[in-house]
Each structure stands twice: as C-alpha cells, then as structure tokens.
Amino acid sequence: MSKYLLAAAGGVGFFCLLSSLLPAQALPNLNISEKELASVQDNDINKQADTNNNNLSETESDKLPIVNDTQQNLSSSNQPQNAVNALEPPADEMAQVTSVSQLSDVQPTDWAFQALQSLVERYGCIAGYPNQTYRGNRAMTRYEFAAGLNACLERINELIATATADLVKKEDLATLQKLQEQFAAELATLRGRVDALEARTTELEANQFSTTTKLTGEAIIAGIGATGGAPGKSGSNIILVNRVRLNLSTSFTGKDLLITGLQSHNFLGGADGRGSLQESLGLASPLLSSSSARTSFEPQFPGLNVKNLTGVGANSLELYKLLYIFPVANKLTLFAGTAAEVSDAFPAITPFYGEGQESISRFAGLNPVLRVSGGTSGSGLASAAGFIFNIAPSLDLRALYGSVNANIPQKSPNEVLAGVSETPLGGGFFSGSSVVAAQLTFKPMRDLDIGLNYAHSYHEINILGTGLISGDVGALAGVDPGTPVTLNSIGSTVTWRFSPKIALSGYGAALFVEDSSKTVDASTTFTSWMVGLHFRDLFKSGNNAGILFGQPLYRSEASGSAQLAPIGVNRATPYHLEAYYRWQINDHISITPGAFILFNPEGDRTNDTTTVGVLRTTFTF
C-alpha cells in the first residue's frame, strides 16, 4: 500500500516539476474591479471604426457607420478564435527524447535545466519537436499541457504496474513538503482572491442590466458667453447649459442592432427664439432661432416640437433616437426607424465632427447638405428608411428616404401665419416635408477619405431646415413664409491625413432652392465652404485640437421673385474662424475650451463682429 501512496505522491511531484517548466507571469494584484470584469464579459458591439476603415469620429454610439462595422465584426466571430495556434507544429509531430542533450536549445545554464533533465531522464515523459528543439520559452496551450500531463500519468501507471524499485525518493517528498510550507501564505491568499472573484462574478451575472442590451451615456455641461451681434444689442450674459443622452443598443441575433436614445437639455428658444443665445445677440431668425452663432451640441429647435408647434419644457425627457439596423446580405444592410437623422446613416468624413468632443460650433461639424431638412435636428425629427451597400472595402453607397411628420395623418387646416399650418411640415409618411439623400464614400488612398453627397427635399414652408443661419427661415427672401419649396443640394467632404497626427479637412456645398407652389417664380442658390487643420494627441495622448476657417451659408444668386437679401440687410460675405482644444482628463471626462468669431454675421455688414466662447465639459459612460 505504501508503494502506491508513494506513486501518487510522485505524480504530484511530476505535476509540480512539469508546471515549473512553463513560462510564468507574476500576478502582483488580482483586485479586478467590477467595471473591468463587466467590460470583459460585455459583447461590445459599438466598435469605433467605420466600414471603410476610415478611422472616423465617433463619439456617439448611435451612428450607423459604427453599426455597419459591428455587423462585419460580429460576422467574423465564427472564425477560429486562436488562429495563431495553426502556425504551431501539430502534437503528433513531437518525438519522445531519452536525454536532455538531445534538445539543441536547452543549455545547462537554463534556470529549469535540472527539472527538465529529471523529467526526461528519470521519468521519460517529455517530448521534443522533430527538429530536436524544446522551445522552453514559448507559451503552451491548455491542450499541450494536458498532453504533457497525460504522458507523465501514463509513465506513473507503467512504474506502478512494474513495481520498479526506487519509484519515488524521499527527497522528492521532502521537496514537495518544503514547497507547500514556503508558499502556504501565497496559496491561501490566491485561493481567497479566487473565491472572492467568483462571488463577485456571480453577483454581476445576477444583477446585470441585460444580456442583449448595452447602456452608454453622455452628459455635457457647458458655459457659453458671447459679445457683438446686431446694432443696439448689449450682448449676452454668460449662460450654463446641459445636454444628457442615454443610448440603449440591443442586438437580438448578434448582427442586428436596435438603438433607443433618450435625452434632455435646458436650451431655450421656442417658436420665436425667446431665451436663446441667438435671440439675445439679435442674430436669430424671427422664427425658430436659426443662427450662425449656434453651438455644436445645441438642438435645432430648442423648446419647441416643430411638428405641431407645441412648447417643450427645459430638461424634459424625449426620445431622440429609435432605429433598427439589420443585414440582409453579405454587403447589404438595411435600416428603418421613427426617430432618426440623416447623419445617422452617413459617415461625417471630417474629424471636426463630435458634438461632445470636437468642434464647438454647428458650422464646423458637418457638410450643410447633411443638415438639410432637419437632417441633424438633435431630436430625431424624421421617420426614415434606407440601405448601406458596401460595394468594396474602400467604397460604399448609402441612401435614405425620410419624412418629418410620418405620425400625423393629415395636415392641420388651422393656420398660425398666412399659408403656415399648425402642422407646418405637413402630415403622412409619403406626403408633406420629406427628403431623399445619398452619400458615396470612398478611400482612393489609405490616408485620404472623400464623401460625395446629394439630397432632394420638399418642404411645406419656405425653409432650408439646416439651422445654420438666420436666412434658413425664409430661404426664398421676399417670398411668403407659407410658400412650399424644393431643394436640390450637392456637396463634398475631404479629409487628408498627411501626417499620423495631423489632418487637413474641408467641405464645399451648394443648395439650390426653388418655389414649388406654381404661383410664383423664384429661386435662390446658397453656397458654403470650410477648411481646417485637425491635430490628434496634441501635447498629450488623447488631446485633440482644431483650427478652421470658412464661409457659412450665403445667398450667391437669386432670380424671379426671390431677393438676394431681406429688406434692410447690408449684404456682405460672412466668415467663420474657430479654434478649440480638447483636454482628455481620463477615459470618461474631457474639457474643451474654444471660441469662434463671426465676421459679417448672417451676411449683414451692419452686424458687429461676434465672438462666442465655450467651455464644454463632457462625461461619457
């Protein structure tokens, strides 16, 4: 009986000796936080890269380019998890060695030489590769460990069966006992940490939010001050504003995605712009507070439900995103939703886009063509459906149809102004104000991204729907506000990363507006352009900066009953100059100071040069 007990103890000794040969990594601290554990368990379906490997901005998880990449990433999950192992020699090509000298890469000076020599020459349970190497510094797989342990166990069984003398020496038992005594404290500590980790893992699994849904959020708190504006205006006091968003991303199959977004903010404005920064400067339109002094994170229609002209209180909770994205073929993805925006489907291209992270003005973030028809209202104005077609790895085509008042059966017969209904944008999914938009995105070179845009829009009232300038309302100057209009908009955005951390980016746009009432003959052309430099990891990793210059939307032509400018405006080309610096404090908090200057704001020389300063703090979680 003692012989068999000694054999079992010898098996433990073999196990310890075999383990001593494995490459080891010290683990000084096993205090894994719940947050770190959750991040490991989570299936992060919001990867920050677009389908063309464009390394585009991203800050918000509710963008379709991100979703499209998610589809590709999840589709590849069926591939082998350990492709690197395929490069290793198969186990059956290893050969048993009888002497450690047969292994050409094992030297007597190696720290585990004696242990290896014992396993080879005393117990004969170590195999080498066909080229007479052992590769002791290579990490082993669990399969290889099992194979080695099994070889040693089989050798033990052989020794027991033959009752070989000197099966296990007293020195082996003494060594094993000494190791147990020396590492008793460490083993107890490790056992306690593992038990605690298992308990915390069980608690996380029992209390996790959802197995199919990921919750992300963003909170913006900003101080804004401005000087200048229209003659006779004293300027604006410094104001403190906020915007909070919660995004629920749900996947039912691992390849689809349902985005549900909630938000609240305390920006004011309403139908007449009262209480807004733009109104205090005298630069806002008479309706809807459209202005070139608007910040990037401010909704287009603050304090107002533009669908039926009802008021919305500050910090009211609203659904700003409801969108479902699902693949139907290898290169084709469809999407549809009742609360969506054009910018959800189209990559921004420019690195200045990022309402909570990058540029501080509405002008800099996106090409104006994407903003037409409330395309970036900030409140999920439209019901939309469309597709993403990945033509090639460096080329994709995206298109959508959107309707603003899809949830209203009929246009209200009641009017608030001449020709302007209580539901000014019409009613029905296939009637009323609508937009058809498309973008072709391609990468002719690794460091060059190009986007070409086209949009065709119909509006029930005389409006552009961009929120970029005061002339947005009354797009056809001198024509009644209730006059329906048709827009054909074209634009292009280009970003060239001529240095690993510096990019040159710009856009150009032209909006052609025509009367659709057949009672007047009027047309107007708006143009806009922007160029700037974006700096990544400036002074410190994670810190970004931008400086840009351009021309906001400006009437360049007018014909028929349309005028180049409303009566009383002293026409002059407007310009926009902006600079900002984002300081990334940690993974979840950033602070962005910046300012933009408006020359000839709203295209009127009589307006004073206006400066808007912003100190924005963004929290992401």
Looking at the structure, tell me whether residues 167 and 289 fall in a common domain: no
Looking at the structure, tell me whether residues 458 and 526 fall in a common domain: yes
Give the residue-averaged pLDDT of 351-371: 94
- Per-residue pLDDT tens digits for 187-219: 788 888 888 888 888 777 776 677 788 899 999
Looking at the structure, tell me whether residues 307 and 323 fall in a common domain: yes
List all residues 6 or more positions away from 262 whose beta carbon is below 8 Å from its beta carbon. Answer: 245, 246, 247, 317, 318, 319, 320
Q: State the DSSP H helix or E strand holding residue 15, giving kind and residue range, or none if neither.
A: helix 2-20
In this structure, the dihedral spanned by the alpha carbons of residues 256, 259, 260 and 261, taken in order and rounded to 10 degrees, is 170
Asked, for residue 42, whether it belongs to a domain, the answer is: no
Residue 73 confidence class, pLDDT cut points 50, 70, 90: very low
Phi-psi region of 406 (alpha: psi -120 to 50; beta: other; left: phi over 0): alpha
Better pLDDT: 606 or 5:
606
Looking at the structure, tell me whether residues 448 and 582 fall in a common domain: yes
List all residues 6 or more positions away from 500 whose beta carbon is below 8 Å from its beta carbon. Answer: 536
Looking at the structure, tell me whether residues 310 and 335 fall in a common domain: yes
Asked, for residue 38, whether it belongs to a domain, the answer is: no
> Is residue 319 scored above 60 in pLDDT?
yes
| Sign (positive or negative) of CA dihedral 315, 318, 320, 323 | positive
> In the chain, how many domains are there?
2
Give the residue-averaged pLDDT of 314-323: 93
Nearest to 238 by CA among 251, 254, 223, 260: 223
Better pLDDT: 287 or 205:
287
Looking at the structure, tell me whether residues 198 and 215 fall in a common domain: no
In this structure, the dihedral spanned by the alpha carbons of residues 220, 226, 229 and 232, taken in order and rounded to 10 degrees, is 130
Give the residue-averaged pLDDT of 419-424: 84
Residue 487 confidence class, pLDDT cut points 50, 70, 90: very high
Q: Which of 206, 230, 265 is the last residue of a domain?
A: 206
Q: Which of 190, 206, 222 is the last residue of a domain?
A: 206
pLDDT of residue 239: 93
Please, where are the H alpha helices in 494-582?
Answer: none
Q: Which of 189, 206, 223 is the last residue of a domain?
A: 206
Looking at the structure, tell me whether residues 368 and 330 fall in a common domain: yes
Mean pLDDT for the chain overall:
80
**How many CA atoms lie less than 13 Å away from 366 in the CB half-sphere?**
29
Percent of all residues in the chain with a pLDDT value above 90, rounded to a whole number: 47
Asked, for residue 78, whether it belongs to a domain, the answer is: no
**Which residues on neighbouring strands pair with residue 594, listed in sequence order?**
580, 614
Looking at the structure, tell me whether residues 161 and 262 fall in a common domain: no
Joined together, the tokens standing for residue 611 give 């400066």
What's the rounded Cα separation, in Å, for the pair 110 and 30?
29
Asked, for residue 41, whether it belongs to a domain, the answer is: no
pLDDT of residue 440: 96
pLDDT of residue 138: 77
Joined together, the tokens standing for residue 492 give 């292009």
Joined together, the tokens standing for residue 583 give 């300081």
pLDDT of residue 418: 76
Asked, for residue 519, whether it belongs to a domain, the answer is: yes
Looking at the structure, tell me whether residues 449 and 400 fall in a common domain: yes
- Per-residue pLDDT tens digits for 520-555: 889 999 999 999 999 999 999 999 999 999 999 999
pLDDT of residue 326: 94
- Give the least confident one: 3-12, 91-100, 390-399, 604-613: 3-12
Burial group, residue 148, by CB count within 10 angstroms (0-12, 13-18, 19+) = buried
Looking at the structure, tell me whether residues 167 and 219 fall in a common domain: no
How does 472-492 read in b/e, with b if 16+ C-beta sit within 10 Å? bbbbbbbbbbbbbbebebebb
pLDDT of residue 66: 38
Rounded to two decimals, the pTM is 0.69
539: three-class secondary structure by DSSP = coil
State the residue range of the domain holding 336.
209-620
What's the rounded Cα separation, in Å, for the pair 461 and 516?
10
> Is residue 83 scored above 50 in pLDDT?
no
Nearest to 120 by CA among 91, 151, 136, 99: 99
The CATH number linked to 275 is 2.40.160.10
pLDDT of residue 156: 73
Nearest to 511 by CA among 552, 570, 572, 451: 552
Asked, for residue 55, whether it belongs to a domain, the answer is: no
Looking at the structure, tell me whether residues 277 and 177 fall in a common domain: no
**Which residues on neighbouring strands pair with residue 420, listed in sequence order?**
417
Looking at the structure, tell me whether residues 492 and 552 fall in a common domain: yes
Asked, for residue 467, whether it belongs to a domain, the answer is: yes
Asked, for residue 58, whether it belongs to a domain, the answer is: no
Tell me the one-letter amino acid at 461.
I
> Is residue 18 scored above 70 in pLDDT?
no
